[in-house]
Amino acid sequence: MGRERIDKGVPAVHQDETGFVPSPGGALVPRFLPASPRAAVLVLHGGRETSGRPSRPWHLAGLRMLPLHREIEAGLPHQDVLLAQVRYRLRGWNGTRADPVADTREALRRLTELAGPVPTVLVGHSMGARAALRAADHPQVRAVLGLAPWWPSGEPVAHLAGRHVVALHGDRDRVTSLSETADCVRRARGAADRAGLAVVGGGDHAMLRRHAFWHRTAAAVVAHLLAPEARPSPLPEESYGAGDVPLL
């Protein structure tokens, strides 16, 4: 997104070298700030299972989400949707500490201060999808989109009541488990309003294979979650498991 779009939302806001609007030391990094947001999309990048090292904006996990940000922004159904990213303190999930979950909750708190109690869609990749699922009990969260999610067996789902949960997972993912994602979605159907899974044929964990399809489909799902009347485009034949998508 160019500077012009940001300036239309909030004057005198400056981008850093990655294209983001710096937040003064907080967990919330706004990307597009409309004057009066009526909804929000919060993006969470991936990380590592265990790492106490600081998370930096130039790490690949964050950089690979920049094209997705642009695609989501281009597909927003309304111009009054706030788009932002979670800034993690550390790179790792770190066992029971679940550090990215605390960062996500802090980002949601700051989002409330900035925009009020607007309905929010969480979009997470890998570890970010796990943090998004855990933080979905926040009262503002209406939906979670997990991309190649790390949703291990037994991941809690009871708190998803009233939410929508959608997952996209590549069948060539060698990092996180497609079968565990499918199991999580099945269990979520017992709690969430709706839950669905689509498998990206030929898709890998980093979303590099068929990256245009990943980004385009994710943006269409986000647009639909924000405005249910905007039905997502039919998935191409190269994806399968698409029969679950109407559960949106």
What is the pLDDT of the chain when averaged over all its residues? 84
Query: What is the model's pLDDT at position 60?
Result: 67
Residue 177: Cβ within 10 Å count: 17
Decide if pLDDT at 160 tops 60. Answer: yes
pLDDT in tens, 161-215: 999 999 999 999 999 999 999 999 999 999 999 999 999 999 999 999 999 999 9
**Nearest-angstrom CA–CA distance, 187 and 135:** 17
Query: What is the model's pLDDT at position 55?
Result: 83
Residue 52 token pair: 């106490």
Q: Which CATH architecture has domain 3-247?
A: 3-Layer(aba) Sandwich (3.40)
- Please state the pTM of the whole predicted model: 0.84
* 3-state secondary structure (DSSP) of residue 193: coil
Query: What is the model's pLDDT at position 8?
Result: 36
Q: Could you tell me where the beta strands, DSSP code E, fall in 94-156?
A: 120-125, 141-147
Percent of the chain whose predicted confidence (pLDDT) is above 90: 70
Q: Lowest-pLDDT range, 32-36, 50-54, 70-74, 188-192?
A: 50-54
Q: Could you tell me where the beta strands, DSSP code E, fall in 17-126?
A: 28-32, 39-44, 81-86, 120-125
